[in-house]
A and B are shown apart, each in its own frame.
Chain A
Amino acid sequence: DIAMTQSPISLPVTPGEPASISCRSSQSLLHTNGDNYLDWYLQKPGQSPQLLIYLGSIRASGVPDRFSGSASGTHFTLKISRVEAEDVGVYYCMQLLQTPFSFGQGTKLEIK
């Protein structure tokens, strides 16, 4: 099974400052088609998760361009260039390469 490890678990950020969340997979998530099967989700308080990034680096429709995703081997990074108050919530990475699919444990972003 593929294990997903996120860090940090808690991320206090000042509005306007950048933020970065790391996600590491225990195995490569690179499909034979050349895509990394790694998605990023944000779950705002009291809401269902919403997709931010799919296939490692493609921003979902309607997601602000301050969000970006990147991949380097088994290390994936979600970056927010300038954090806004509406970005608070828990961020999850998820691998969909191989069943059982799996999520990271989550990173809680809060505003300082």
Chain B
Amino acid sequence: QVPLVESGGGVVQPGGSLRLSCVASRFTFNAFDMHWVRQAPGKGLEWVTFIRSDGRNAFYADSVKGRFTVSRDNSKNTLYLQIDSLRSEDSAVYYCAVMGPNIYYWGQGTLVSVSS
């Protein structure tokens, strides 16, 4: 089993919405903070958001604040990213990741394309 598997990407019109999911396995999901990182085509990595292990606190990049909402369901070992008011510059591969302590996994990514 792959530790992190993302889904939910697709083609959406500007102004539209998507919800990405990331299912975790092989580690104790509810013990770790979780991140979303994105990568626009041909570009570098951009940190987007992270949520505490208990889901009570979340932090966002300025570029997505107010439009993106991260959440998690620890009973389902699943991380979510609600993306609203999509813009062309949001087109990217979205990765979920756990970045320590002592456990570092990234998913394979899910592609979001914003196009009219």
Contact with B along A82-103 (1 / 0, CB 8 A): 0000000010101010011111
Are the CB atoms of A100 and B108 closer together than 8 Å? no
Q: What's the tally of chain A residues with a CB closer than 8 Å to chain B?
A: 22
How far apart are the CA atoms of A101 and B59 in the complex, in Å? 9
Are the CB atoms of A48 and B47 closer together than 8 Å? no
How far apart are the CA atoms of A106 and B107 in the complex, in Å? 20
Contact with A along B92-116 (1 / 0, CB 8 A): 0001000110001011110000000
Are the CB atoms of A51 and B104 closer together than 8 Å? yes
Residues in A with CB closer than 8 Å to B107 are 48
Nearest B residue (CB) for A50: B106
Q: A48-B109, A94-B47 are known contacts. Are A39 and B99 too (CB-CB below 8 A)?
A: yes
Q: Shortest distance in angstroms between B9's beta carbon and chain A's nearest beta carbon?
A: 14
Nearest B residue (CB) for A100: B61
Q: Shortest distance in angstroms between A70's beta carbon and chain B's nearest beta carbon?
A: 19
24 contacts between A and B (CB under 8 A): A1-B62, A39-B99, A41-B45, A48-B107, A48-B109, A49-B45, A49-B95, A49-B106, A51-B104, A60-B104, A92-B44, A92-B45, A94-B45, A99-B50, A99-B59, A100-B47, A100-B59, A103-B44, A103-B45, A103-B46, A104-B44, A105-B44, A106-B44, A106-B45
